[in-house]
């Protein structure tokens, strides 16, 4: 009996060790494929397969997922298998290839096929990453046809369903969204001077909130929607000012001979970041929203930083860096540090997910808008509205 037991152990132990090794290998494989190290500009995309979708729905899914950090591979190489159909309406299923478990299965109705596909993409992103998707968000921007001055437009984040907001037949620029409202602030030269307008897109109400002598531009609304940062030259050179959302209680924050520009708010509403010059060199800086000392934000490795935008999660500042050959979109930790260059472009604006940016890039000798995943550097141009599209702002 003892010999039989020993014999069983001798035979069974190698098999047991092989099974354990196989399971460990599979576990390690699952860890390797499932764990994504989130490094800005260096993150590997999540491999997925798309099966059963055609036409417009397929185009929407590929665009939405690509600019949120996914790549498309064959089913046997995918981490997640996305399957379904788009005949009549969108029906979708998401399966974890490793565990072979269905993550969710849904059918979408009651909207256009395009909107259904956006909704499905949003559900995929939230299920896999835990973050809200951006498929149903909006952007505002300036569209300037050849020979024209440019007007403000609003569109879906991918450029579809554009709506012309202004009809001023003059220069209109620098749109920004009121938080959680269907309303914009922008600069228009229609009165004969660059003044800042408020425009309610739901009611059509439009009024001037800043019409001082000289420059009135670069409106930026505080996260709680109560304050407005702006650039005014009423005291001489362009400086950062702050006021109530209706233009009252105006206060000057900076008083320098330099040309300040592009103010943006920290998500907690405590700071205003802006572009300036310090010791004759372009730099980013911040100042308490209530007034105080200016503090520089270091951007090591990126020259002549301008056009900052603070991410909604408070962790990053995206900006434009000017080099001898053009402009580059960069990101830096909100406290300053070493900047990471992403792609050629300018005018960055964060989406609500603090991962995707919309920016302006040159394509075919004209300006176009592009959507950029800051983690993977994956970028897609959106549908062009006019000859040159620029100055995008993402609704949050």
The answer on pLDDT for 15 being more than 70 is: no
Q: Which pLDDT does position 16 carry in this prediction?
A: 35
Q: Please, is 6 exposed, middle or buried when counting C-beta atoms within 10 Å of its C-beta (0-12, 13-18, 19+)?
A: exposed
**In the structure, what pLDDT confidence band is assigned to residue 2 with cuts at 50, 70 and 90?**
very low
Distance in angstroms (rounded) separating the CA atoms of residues 95 and 102: 4
Name the residue among 37, 367, 333 with its Cα closest to residue 319: 333
Q: Please, is 368 exposed, middle or buried when counting C-beta atoms within 10 Å of its C-beta (0-12, 13-18, 19+)?
A: buried
Q: What is the pLDDT of residues 333-373, one digit of tens each?
A: 999 999 999 999 999 999 999 999 999 999 888 999 999 99
Q: Which pLDDT does position 37 carry in this prediction?
A: 52
Q: What is the pLDDT of residues 202-213, one digit of tens each?
A: 999 999 999 999
The answer on pLDDT for 258 being more than 80 is: yes
pTM of the model: 0.89
Q: Which pLDDT does position 21 carry in this prediction?
A: 39
Which of 156-165, 260-269, 367-376, 378-387 is least confident? 378-387
- Residue limits of CATH 2.120.10.30 in the chain: 138-394
Can you read off the two tokens belonging to residue 309?
């935008």
- Mean pLDDT, the chain, integer: 90
Is-contact 335 356, C-beta < 8 A? no
How is the beta sheet containing 295-297 ordered, strand by strand?
A: 261-265, 271-278, 281-288, 295-297
**In the structure, what pLDDT confidence band is assigned to residue 146 with cuts at 50, 70 and 90?**
confident
Residue bearing tokens 């800043």 = 210
The answer on pLDDT for 17 being more than 60 is: no
Over residues 113-117, the mean pLDDT reads 97
Q: Which pLDDT does position 147 carry in this prediction?
A: 76
Cα first-last separation, the chain:
75
Over residues 315-332, the mean pLDDT reads 94
The answer on pLDDT for 167 being more than 80 is: yes
Counting every residue written for the chain, the total comes to: 396
Can you read off the two tokens belonging to residue 145?
């046809």
Q: Please, is 170 exposed, middle or buried when counting C-beta atoms within 10 Å of its C-beta (0-12, 13-18, 19+)?
A: middle
- Residue limits of CATH 3.40.50.11830 in the chain: 46-129
List Cα–Cα distances, 220 to 44, 287, 324, 333, in angstroms: 33, 14, 29, 21
Q: What is the pLDDT of residues 175-195, one digit of tens each?
A: 999 998 899 999 999 999 999
3-state secondary structure of 37: coil
The answer on pLDDT for 151 being more than 50 is: yes
Architecture, CATH, for domain 138-394: 6 Propeller (2.120)
Distance in angstroms (rounded) separating the CA atoms of residues 43 and 373: 10
Q: Please, is 322 exposed, middle or buried when counting C-beta atoms within 10 Å of its C-beta (0-12, 13-18, 19+)?
A: middle
For residue 76, the 8-state DSSP code is: G
Distance in angstroms (rounded) separating the CA atoms of residues 13 and 9: 6
- Decide which of 3.20.20.140, 3.30.1490.20, 3.40.605.10, 3.40.50.11830 is the CATH code for 46-129: 3.40.50.11830
Q: Which pLDDT does position 215 carry in this prediction?
A: 95
């Amino acid at each position: 009996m003892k010999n039989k037991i020993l014999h069983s152990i001798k035979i069974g132990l190698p098999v047991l060790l092989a099974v354990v090794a196989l399971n460990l290998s599979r576990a390690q494989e699952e860890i390797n494929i499932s764990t994504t190290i989130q490094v800005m500009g260096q993150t590997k995309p999540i491999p997925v397969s798309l099966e059963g979708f055609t036409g417009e729905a397929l185009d929407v899914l590929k665009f939405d997922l690509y600019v949120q950090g996914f790549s498309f591979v064959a089913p046997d190489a995918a981490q997640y298998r996305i399957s379904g159909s788009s005949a009549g309406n969108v029906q979708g299923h998401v399966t974890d290839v490793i565990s072979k478990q269905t993550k969710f299965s849904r059918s979408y109705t009651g909207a256009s096929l395009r909107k259904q596909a956006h909704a499905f993409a949003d559900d995929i992103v939230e299920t896999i990453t835990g973050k809200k998707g951006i498929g149903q968000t909006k952007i505002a921007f300036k569209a300037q046809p050849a020979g024209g001055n440019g007007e403000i437009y609003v569109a879906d984040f991918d450029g579809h369903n554009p709506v012309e907001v202004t009809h001023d037949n003059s220069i209109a620029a620098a749109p920004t969204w009121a938080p959680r409202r269907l309303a914009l602030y922008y600069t228009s030269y229609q009165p004969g001077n660059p003044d800042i307008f408020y425009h309610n897109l739901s009611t059509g109400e439009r009024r001037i909130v800043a019409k001082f002598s000289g420059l009135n531009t670069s409106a930026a609304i505080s996260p709680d929607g109560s304050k407005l940062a702006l650039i005014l030259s009423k005291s001489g050179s362009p400086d950062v000012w702050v006021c109530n959302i209706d233009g009252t209680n105006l206060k000057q924050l900076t008083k320098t001979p330099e040309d300040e520009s592009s103010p943006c708010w920290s998500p907690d509403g405590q700071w205003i970041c802006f572009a300036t010059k310090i010791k004759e060199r372009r730099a980013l800086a911040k100042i308490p929203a209530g007034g105080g000392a200016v503090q520089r934000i270091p951007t090591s490795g990126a020259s002549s930083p301008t056009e900052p935008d603070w991410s909604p999660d408070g962790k990053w500042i995206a900006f434009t860096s000017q080099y001898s050959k053009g402009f580059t979109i960069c990101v830096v930790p909100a406290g300053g540090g070493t900047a990471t260059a992403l792609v050629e472009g300018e005018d960055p604006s964060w989406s609500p997910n603090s991962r995707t940016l919309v920016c302006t890039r040159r394509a075919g000798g004209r300006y176009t808008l592009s959507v950029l995943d800051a983690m993977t550097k994956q970028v897609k141009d959106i549908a062009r509205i006019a000859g040159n599209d620029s100055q995008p702002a993402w609704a949050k």
